[in-house]
Amino acid sequence: MFLRASALAGGALATSPFRALAALGETVDPVGGRAAVRAPGNGGYGPLRPAGPELGLPEGFSYIRFGGEGTPMSNGRPTPGAHDGMAAFPGPRGTLRLVRNHEIGGHQAPFASDAYDPAAGGGTTNLVFDRVTGRLLASHPSLTGTVQNCAGGATPWGTWLSCEETTDGYADGYQRPHGYCFEVPAGAVAPVRALPLRAMGRFKHEAVCVDRIRGDVYLTEDQETAGFYRFRPRVRGALAAGGKLEMLGIAGRPGYDTRTGQRRDAVLPVAWVDVPDPDPADAGWHPLAVFQQGRNRGGALFARLEGCFWHRGRVVFVSTKGGDAGIGQVWEYRPGANVLSLAFESPSADLLCQPDNVCATPRGGLLLCEDGPGHDRIQGLDPHGRIFDFARNRFSDGEFTGATFSPDGKVLFVNVQRPGVTFAITGPWGRGPI
């Protein structure tokens, strides 16, 4: 697990860090009898305070607001709203490039030319940010004419994979089928050719991450009954060249249900099952068409899979409604050992309420963007398995989305979806665990 260095030995995990926490007298929750705790002193960063009209942050942290919905882009047109998944890439002359999703559904005109579907208003924008001056230097439309671009993931070759969270198509008033992943270069300064990556599946996509060692792509599905997928490209780094889509299953336990009754010290051996037709003709009216293929072959069942991130040789992914309390699980898949384990399960909305987007921190922890009722937070999960508050939305009931660190780990970029706005957060990172 990513939580404190632990190792596989004889098919089992070494001593769980949660056992040590329970021994310290922390509150024990019902999940496997292990501790799910709030970090003492709020994880070393301290309690949240108003850092400005929009965000509550720990003492010493500050933020800059930019790229808001409706503000002019470099071409003079208004910035689209519904900011969602995002990644940061190194740019020329010390700049940073951000690729940002816009989860716009319904039937709207595209916000730029060269649209994939002229009846769809979603897509991505590419931003150039100067981290020295804290200024947005440029903003460009990059992918247009797609629908409900929720999350996605960065690739090692400098592109962003933007994912549609719908399978709507012709019968729903669109001029093209939807439910695909699209690839966007980080350096794009104009709309790119929108090429659906059909071999990666047509389903309600959420997020992706790329195995930096093997080149495989892992994908989550945001459905009440969801699968976790692996795409094995025919040519490493050339996703449009096709490949094979698979769904995660548990060896010897076909149809395994991960939603409840899980233990954090259990290790589940994985058996991948084929998805014979990743782009089924009936996906437009049957959003579970891909899922059902894997499920029929023994694939495992999850509850609403959302965030997904490659972290130190492991895949970390989030089940927003998983767990005995139904408010969130954090899972970890280890490709080298081909095993799945539960890293964290929330027993209380006070600790963690319906996590969505996730990103790893430079110091080995995780940041989890909540998508629950009320004013959402960014919650930290430190390497010892302890939860702490890092940020709170003070100005709206919009969710945090798209958390991503600059390549040097000194700036955290994050969006609030409604009203759409992007923040750059800086502060004394070395003072705490992430």
User: What local confidence, expressed as pLDDT, does residue 36 receive?
Assistant: 52
Summarize pLDDT for 87-145 with one digit per residue, the tens. 999 999 989 999 999 999 999 999 999 999 999 999 999 999 999 999 999 999 999 99
Question: Residue 416 is inside which H or E element, if any?
Answer: strand 412-416
Spatial separation of the C-alpha atoms in residues 125 and 236, rounded to whole Å: 26
The token pair at 167 is: 């399978």
Residues of the chain with pLDDT under 70: 1-37, 41
Query: 319 to each of 146, 239, 241, 260, how far by Cα in Å?
Result: 25, 26, 30, 11
User: What local confidence, expressed as pLDDT, does residue 374 receive?
Assistant: 79
3 state DSSP class of 81 = coil
**Letter for the amino acid at 354?**
Q
Domains in the chain: boundaries: 72-196
* Other residues' Cβ atoms within 10 Å of the Cβ of residue 6: 15
3 state DSSP class of 240 = helix
User: What local confidence, expressed as pLDDT, does residue 41 receive?
Assistant: 67
The token pair at 353 is: 């309420």
Spatial separation of the C-alpha atoms in residues 185 and 315, rounded to whole Å: 23
DSSP string spanning 382-409? -TTSEEEEEEEE-S-SPPEEEEEE-TTS
User: What local confidence, expressed as pLDDT, does residue 16 receive?
Assistant: 29
3 state DSSP class of 19 = helix
Query: 353 to each of 28, 260, 346, 347, 425, how far by Cα in Å?
Result: 18, 16, 7, 9, 22
Contact 111, 144 (CB under 8 A): yes
Summarize pLDDT for 341-385 with one digit per residue, the tens. 999 999 999 999 999 999 999 888 999 999 988 789 999 998 888
CA of residue 82 relative to chain centroid, distance: 16
**What are the helix and strand counts (H, E) for the chain?**
2, 29
Which is it for strands 329-334 and 386-393: parallel, antiparallel or unpaired? unpaired
Whether the predicted model's global pTM rises above the 0.75 cut: yes
**What single-letter DSSP state applies at residue 171?**
G
User: What local confidence, expressed as pLDDT, does residue 125 receive?
Assistant: 99
User: What local confidence, expressed as pLDDT, does residue 259 receive?
Assistant: 98
